[in-house]
């Protein structure tokens, strides 16, 4: 089976030369007559330039084939192969990664599984974020959750910058929120997911995640790009982590924002997340304050859905633009709103109700 990767080079770069450099340098490493007696063996590992085309802006797009036998069916070895040392070699950006469907890790839940957990099948899901991000006590989290859960909210998550801090330790937050979730379930029959932020040293993350699930966490949040794709894969492949994993895009700009180098947002937040076991992936919507192209956002959405992963557009998601959201995303989406819910003048519960008023109108 094959892996194909698209590299974009500026007009002033010799794309043919650079593509050949990548194809050889990121696979066999070298190729000359000294190895002719073992040509068959080495050739099966060698990358190949498939095509080079010029786009409407004069950029050259080279597609390179990489043998699947060079990698370990995971994202870290894939990244090392397709862009490892070459990422330090000059201009060139990875704008597409095409993987076999069997590659990597599939979500345990994804769109269908999360909908089954919530019992909601015919509309977008509504998600909130605890705000303020820092300064709330564990009890404050419980109070806020009670308000929004009773107003009909589907999901809520920790802010990504809130770790296991003294102001609101993770287990204490979970304890306060779990009690609310249990009461809501008992009184209304409604399940609400709370994505608890998993943090800690690398060797602690798996045990922390297992402990959170044991203590009643029904969803987890992971800052995948700061902790690493291997951490996401580890959690997604562990049978004891039997809850959905929500992947946060923190640090994506450091990898993707440069126009001539790095990787595109659709590769990092779409392909790599979708093939490493995330059940839902957050990313900036183009409506908000974060600069994000509609075309890239659409690619992310479609890539995630192709693997049964929930797209979760965030930033700028407000009740008043629900008609536009429906037109842009349809129903297979989680609409994630922070201040759009929490800063409602009549309180967070009214923020949730404002979404449903527009959604069900």
Among 343, 341, 361, 360, CA closest to 352: 341
Q: Are 213 and 178 in contact (CB under 8 A)?
A: no
CB atoms under 10 Å from CB of 254, counted, come to 11
Q: Which residues contact 28 (CB under 8 A, 6 or more apart)?
A: 42, 45, 46, 47
Count of Cβ atoms closer than 10 Å to residue 273 Cβ: 29
Q: Are 133 and 338 in contact (CB under 8 A)?
A: no
Tokens representing 44? 């099966």
DSSP 8-class letter at 338: S
Catalytic residues: 85
- Residue 71 backbone phi and psi in degrees, to 5: -125, 175
Please tell me what DSSP assigns to residue 198.
P
Which residue in 262, 326, 267, 328 sits closest to 299, CA to CA? Answer: 267
Q: Could you tell me if 266 and 306 are in contact, meaning their C-beta atoms sit under 8 angstroms apart?
A: no
Sequence-distant (≥ 6) Cβ neighbours of residue 297 within 8 angstroms: 265, 283, 284, 285, 286, 313
DSSP codes of every residue in 58-127: S-EEEEEEEEGGGS-SSHHHHHHHHHTGGGGSSSEEEEEEE--TTSSB--SSHHHHHHHHHT--SS-EEE
């Amino acid at each position: 089976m094959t892996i194909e990767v698209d590299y974009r080079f500026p007009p002033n770069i010799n794309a043919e030369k650079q593509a050949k450099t990548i194809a050889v340098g990121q696979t066999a490493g070298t190729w000359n007559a000294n190895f002719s007696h073992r040509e068959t063996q080495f050739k099966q590992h060698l990358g190949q330039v498939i095509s080079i085309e010029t786009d409407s802006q004069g950029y050259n797009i080279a597609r390179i084939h990489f043998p699947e036998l060079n990698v370990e069916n995971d994202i870290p070895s894939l990244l090392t192969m397709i862009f490892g040392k070459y990422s330090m070699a000059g201009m060139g950006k990875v704008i597409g990664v095409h993987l076999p469907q069997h590659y990597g890790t599939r979500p345990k839940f994804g769109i269908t599984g999360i909908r089954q957990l919530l019992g909601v099948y015919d509309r977008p899901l509504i998600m909130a974020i605890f705000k303020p991000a820092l300064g709330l006590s564990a009890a404050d989290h419980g109070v806020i959750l009670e308000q929004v859960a009773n107003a009909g909210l589907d999901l809520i998550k920790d802010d990504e910058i809130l770790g296991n801090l003294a102001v609101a330790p993770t287990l204490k937050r979970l304890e306060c929120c779990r009690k609310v979730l249990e009461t809501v379930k008992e009184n209304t029959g409604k399940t609400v997911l709370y994505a608890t932020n998993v943090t800690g040293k690398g060797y602690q993350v798996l045990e922390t995640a297992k402990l959170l699930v044991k203590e009643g966490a029904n969803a987890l949040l992971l800052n995948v790009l700061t902790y690493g794709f291997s951490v996401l894969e580890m959690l997604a492949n562990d049978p004891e982590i039997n809850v959905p994993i929500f992947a946060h895009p923190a640090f994506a700009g450091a990898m993707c924002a440069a126009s001539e180098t790095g990787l595109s947002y659709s590769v990092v937040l779409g392909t790599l997340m979708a093939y490493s076991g995330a059940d839902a992936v957050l990313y900036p919507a183009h409506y908000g304050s974060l600069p994000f192209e509609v075309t890239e956002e659409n690619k992310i959405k479609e890539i995630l859905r192709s693997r049964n992963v929930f797209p979760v557009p965030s930033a700028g998601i407000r009740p008043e633009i629900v008609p536009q959201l429906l037109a842009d995303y349809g129903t297979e989406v989680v609409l994630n709103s922070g201040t759009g819910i929490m800063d409602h003048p009549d309180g967070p519960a009214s923020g949730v109700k404002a979404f449903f008023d527009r959604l069900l109108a």
